[in-house]
Amino acid sequence: MKTGVVGYGIAAQVMHLPFITTNPQYQLLSILQRHADTAKEKYPKIHLVRSMDEMLADPSLELVVITTPNDTHFEYTSKALRAGKHVVLEKPFTITSEEGKRLLAIAKDSGKVLSVYQNRRYVGDFLTIRQLLKEKKLGEIAEFEAHYDRYRPELRPGAWREEAAPGTGILYDLGAHLIDQAFCLFGLPKSVTADLRMQRPQAKTTDYFELWLDYGFTKVILKSGMLVREPGPRYMINGTKGTFLKYGEDPQEALLRQGVLPVSEDWGREPEENYGLLHTEINGRVVREKYPTLPGNFGWYYTDLYETLVNGKPLWVKPEHGYNTIRLIELAMESNQKGATVACSELLDTPYN
């Protein structure tokens, strides 16, 4: 699959290129880097381009991976689809649900595949929780709480995600991961109640959120903040039969930021001391024990995508999923503004599994 990558920031360098360049099913043809030449220094065989038009002019190019800031997503994706290329678009898809609808229509008209890079479906803790819920090891889920917290009391200089602009802030950034995971596990909620804040004195955009998603019997709580120096459990799940607690962070991102390539046999495996705690009843016996975390691998996203593009396997991370995440973000902002619970309207009833 002959591939071009748009952008050469952290997302491209850490989350995409290590998996594209180590997967023999893909050939990296080009990288769009507007000014510097560092991409060519790292990948000397690629064609370094300075514009979308220059990249899309290559008739051999089949797949375009877009990793640029959120406000470019609609323009670049629509241009690539209309040029006859498949597209991988970094989360959170678009800035507005209206843009999302238009992209869905453009993708359908083009006959090309459009997918969103929801790599947090490919982490060990999520895969483990999905298995636990599928096997009903906790019974019926009464409460599911997920955190994606950081400690960064100062703004990061030059970070567009922390500027006061459309599509910035922690809800678009980290919230897109938690919302997508919730939809994968529980489907679409009935309503959302949101608390969005700017907690740091110098904050220009949302740097804290708490979302309550109503699924009837099941309540889902999604939280993220930038002032969490000592994190609690990343996941807390309570069901009619038991509880599952999971601390710690999936090891992949830290390794990638250190420059470690995803080629080892134990890639994505957690150390045993980071396993979650399962306290439940199985076959009439109460157990309270460490529960092994399944290995994760962001690279499986590209393996799955190849099976779709080449062998016609159903696409797992659909563009409709990206639209639903953006629509829920909009509804959360409406809830926060009104100080009220808001019904989840205009979500697309599309399969997640």
pLDDT in tens, 141-172: 999 999 999 999 999 888 999 999 999 999 99
Residues 233, 201, single domain; the answer is: yes
Does residue 313 form part of some domain?
no
Residues 251, 112, single domain; the answer is: no
Residues 78, 206, single domain; the answer is: no
What are the residues whose beta carbons fall under 8 Å from the beta carbon of 352, sequence distance 6 or more?
A: 183, 184, 187, 321
Does residue 267 form part of some domain?
yes
Does residue 56 form part of some domain?
yes
Does residue 348 form part of some domain?
no
Encoded tokens for 146: 């997920």
Whole-prediction pTM = 0.96
- What is the C-alpha to C-alpha distance for residues 248 and 36, in angstroms, rounded to an integer? 36
- Summarised one tens digit per residue, pLDDT across range 7-16 is 999 999 999 9
Does residue 350 form part of some domain?
no
- Token pair 């016996």 is found at 285
Residues 124, 71, single domain; the answer is: no
- Summarised one tens digit per residue, pLDDT across range 328-340 is 999 999 999 999 9
Residues 239, 219, single domain; the answer is: yes
- Give the mean pLDDT of 246-258: 96
Q: What is the pLDDT of residue 18?
A: 98
Per DSSP, the residues of 261-316 read -TTSTTTTPPPGGGPEEEEEEETTEEEEEEEPPPP--THHHHHHHHHHHHH-PPPS
- What is the separation of C-alpha 295 from the centre of its chain, rounded to a whole number of angstroms? 17
Residues 125, 208, single domain; the answer is: yes
Instruction: Write out the H or E segment, with its range, that includes residue 86.
Output: strand 86-90
Does residue 303 form part of some domain?
no
Q: Of 117, 146, 163, which residue is a domain's last? A: 117
Q: Of 117, 149, 166, which residue is a domain's last? A: 117
Q: What are the CA-CA distances from residue 189 to residues 36, 38, 211, 276, 324 (Å)?
A: 45, 44, 12, 26, 11
Q: Of 117, 139, 164, which residue is a domain's last? A: 117
Residues 63, 206, single domain; the answer is: no
Does residue 307 have a pLDDT over 90? yes
The CATH number of residue 85's host domain is 3.40.50.720
Does residue 312 form part of some domain?
no
- Give the mean pLDDT of 33-38: 95
Compute the residue count for the chain: 353
Number of H helices, E strands in the chain: 12, 15
pLDDT band at 210 (very low <50, low <70, confident <90, very high): very high
Tally of domains in the chain: 2
Residues 37, 66, single domain; the answer is: yes
Residues 36, 146, single domain; the answer is: no
The share of the chain scoring above pLDDT 70, in percent, equals 100
Residues 112, 131, single domain; the answer is: no
- Summarised one tens digit per residue, pLDDT across range 57-73 is 999 999 999 999 999 99
The share of the chain scoring above pLDDT 90, in percent, equals 99
The CATH number of residue 245's host domain is 3.30.360.10
Does residue 262 form part of some domain?
yes
Does residue 353 have a pLDDT over 90? no
> Residue 68 sits in which domain range?
2-117
Residues 170, 269, single domain; the answer is: yes
Q: What is the pLDDT of residue 158?
A: 85
Residues 127, 188, single domain; the answer is: yes
- In the chain, which residue ranges form alpha helices assigned H by DSSP? 10, 17-21, 38-42, 52-56, 73-82, 97-110, 124-134, 170-173, 175-186, 252-257, 299-311, 319-338
For the chain, what is the mean pLDDT?
97
- Summarised one tens digit per residue, pLDDT across range 18-27 is 999 999 999 9
- Summarised one tens digit per residue, pLDDT across range 81-139 is 999 999 999 999 999 999 999 999 999 999 999 999 999 999 999 999 999 999 999 99
What are the residues whose beta carbons fall under 8 Å from the beta carbon of 197, sequence distance 6 or more?
A: 206, 207, 208, 209
